[in-house]
């Protein structure tokens, strides 16, 4: 029966004194307004940081969404406030976000407020080393789906150094840097972020390369073991003195690093390298795309990867292998949790998308099968893997952070102490580090 012939509609029209020409559009609008929510377009709200890696991963989610009638709504938040803002949403039980960027730095802080992801089928194709323990909840269940591997690497100018000339030790790093400076080819030998929280690119890599660590036992990331050892620190150990003295000398004696390095963020150091003023820098591999972009970098097309130079107490090249990922808050309704897991499962299976992410950014894909394919077909990825992934000690190797709630405070106390030592008199370094031992320990125990 047509609407215009319905007795109820006809009576309504007569009562209201309106014509069929007006009534039919009005009725159609009423019917549309009364449609159930399930018939409307589905959507997933994604909280992320504006970053090439996360943009590339979100593109894979959007591709899946377009194929499955799901709108991906991206909500960008600055790094400086991301943790606090998303933490507030999680602890309130809100469904403000369906998917959130998840970082290994705060894996344990969020675990109890996140949905488990063990049931995402394609979790079987990810590397377990950066996932186990770090992102597990109290029951040992995963609470993350990896989007990319984050590996720290040295970048060097291939127009200045051959692969065989890249320094293998701290001593060689000094020698090579001074030679290039003397030849007038660069202003600085090496630059790297140093101020908190950018210490990975100077203080932390060198500490680990010297067989050292912030807490004891060195390289341990099991919180139960750290607690059983009383959260003792390595701040007053000889190896930590090595690290402080190396950077003091790099700035003041050898002058291979800018005097303002103690105030540098990663962005500051990257800018110096991109301007062609330094031969070597240390950063996440995900900056390869930026360094090779001729619109941003004067060294584009002349960059390769190098392994961490070994310190005087170090035994071998070391590297970290961790991840960024996506997580699902518990406050999300079950039907959207299911939808989010479908999107993440598709992302892990998107070979073309992961290869595109690698090509654009330098971020190793989360799917290990895609990694293996790239090792065989892409010389650049093979080189990166040889100096990073292949140097990860999976039995006794460190991760690039600690995984207990007080880690942020420990990191800050460590950074402040090291910069104080490097900024003062060289002969005062042992005293400064000894005094810092108590502060770092207090931070670790939550005091």
Query: What pLDDT sits at residue 80?
Result: 80
Cα–Cα distance, 134 to 103 (Å, whole number)? 10
Cα–Cα distance, 447 to 435 (Å, whole number)? 16
Cα–Cα distance, 122 to 124 (Å, whole number)? 5
- Residue identified by tokens 């507030």 is 88
- CB-based burial label for 22 (10 Å; 0-12, 13-18, 19+): exposed
Task: Beginning with the edge strand found earlier in the chain, give each strand of the sheet holding 278-284 in spatial order.
Answer: 188-191, 278-284, 152-157, 303-306
The neighbour count for residue 122, using CB atoms within 10 Å, is 16
Cα–Cα distance, 15 to 235 (Å, whole number)? 87
Residues of the chain short of pLDDT 70, as ranges, are 1-40
Cα–Cα distance, 332 to 98 (Å, whole number)? 6
Short-list 134, 126, 94, CA closest to 113: 94
Q: What value does the CA radius of gyration of the chain take, rounded to a whole number of Å?
A: 27
Cα–Cα distance, 204 to 55 (Å, whole number)? 28
DSSP annotation of 392 reads: -
- CB-based burial label for 309 (10 Å; 0-12, 13-18, 19+): buried
According to DSSP, the residues that pair with 70 across neighbouring strands are: 42
Query: What pLDDT sits at residue 79?
Result: 85
| Cis status, amide bond into 374, omega within 30 of 0 | no
According to DSSP, the residues that pair with 421 across neighbouring strands are: none
Cα–Cα distance, 358 to 97 (Å, whole number)? 27
Cα–Cα distance, 117 to 127 (Å, whole number)? 14
Q: How far is CA 346 from CA 71, 117, 215, in A?
A: 15, 14, 39
Phi first, then psi: what are they for 394, rounded to 5°? -75, -15
- Residue identified by tokens 């600085």 is 188
Dihedral (Cα; 383, 385, 387, 389), 10-degree rounding: 180
Cα 220–chain centre separation: 21
Query: What pLDDT sits at residue 35?
Result: 45
DSSP annotation of 357 reads: H
Judge whether 327 and 99 are in contact, CB under 8 Å: yes
127 dihedral zone (left: phi>0; alpha: psi -120 to 50; beta): beta
Cα–Cα distance, 405 to 141 (Å, whole number)? 18
Query: What pLDDT sits at residue 40?
Result: 56
Q: How far is CA 246 from CA 140, 211, 243, 311, 419, in A?
A: 40, 14, 5, 9, 12
Query: What pLDDT sits at residue 133?
Result: 84
Cα–Cα distance, 45 to 72 (Å, whole number)? 6
The neighbour count for residue 190, using CB atoms within 10 Å, is 27
Cα–Cα distance, 442 to 232 (Å, whole number)? 10
């Amino acid at each position: 029966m047509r609407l215009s012939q319905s007795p109820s509609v006809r009576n309504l029209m007569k009562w209201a004194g309106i014509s069929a020409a007006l009534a039919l559009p009005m009725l159609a609008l009423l019917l549309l307004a009364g449609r159930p929510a399930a018939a409307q377009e589905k959507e997933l709200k994604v909280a992320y940081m504006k970053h090439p890696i996360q943009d590339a991963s979100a593109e894979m989610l959007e591709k899946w969404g377009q194929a499955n009638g799901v709108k991906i709504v991206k909500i960008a938040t600055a790094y400086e406030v991301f943790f606090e803002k998303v933490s507030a949403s999680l602890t309130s039980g809100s469904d403000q976000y369906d998917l959130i960027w998840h970082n290994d730095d705060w894996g344990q802080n969020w675990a109890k407020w996140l949905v488990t992801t063990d049931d995402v089928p394609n979790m079987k194709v990810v590397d377990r080393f950066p996932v186990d323990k770090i992102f597990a909840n109290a029951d040992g269940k995963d609470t993350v789906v990896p989007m990319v591997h984050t590996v720290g690497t040295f970048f060097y100018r291939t127009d200045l150094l051959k692969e065989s000339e890249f320094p293998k030790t701290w001593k060689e790093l000094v020698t090579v840097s001074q030679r290039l400076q003397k030849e007038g080819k660069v202003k600085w030998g090496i630059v790297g972020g140093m101020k908190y929280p950018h210490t990975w690119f100077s203080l932390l890599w060198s500490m680990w390369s010297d067989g050292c660590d912030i807490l004891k036992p060195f390289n341990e990331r099991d919180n139960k073991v750290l607690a059983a050892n009383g959260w003792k620190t390595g701040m007053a150990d000889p190896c930590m003195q090595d690290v402080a003295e190396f950077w003091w000398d790099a700035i003041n004696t050898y002058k291979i690093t800018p005097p303002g390095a103690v105030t540098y963020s990663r962005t500051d150091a990257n800018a110096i390298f991109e301007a062609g003023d330094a031969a070597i820098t240390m950063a996440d591999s995900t900056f390869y795309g930026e360094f090779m972009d001729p619109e941003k970098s004067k060294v584009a097309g002349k960059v390769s990867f190098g392994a961490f130079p070994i310190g005087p107490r170090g035994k071998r090249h070391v590297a970290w292998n961790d991840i960024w990922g996506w997580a699902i808050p518990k406050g999300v309704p079950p039907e959207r949790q299911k939808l989010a897991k479908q999107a993440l499962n598709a992302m892990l299976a998107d070979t073309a998308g992961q290869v595109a992410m690698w090509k654009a950014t330098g971020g190793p894909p989360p799917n290990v099968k895609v990694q293996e394919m790239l090792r065989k077909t892409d010389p650049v990825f093979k080189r990166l893997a040889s100096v990073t992934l292949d140097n990860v000690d999976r039995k006794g190797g460190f991760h690039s952070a600690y995984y207990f709630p007080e880690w942020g405070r420990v990191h800050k106390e460590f950074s402040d102490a090291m910069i104080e030592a490097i900024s003062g008199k060289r002969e005062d370094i042992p005293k400064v580090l000894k005094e810092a031992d108590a502060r770092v320990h207090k931070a670790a125990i939550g005091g």
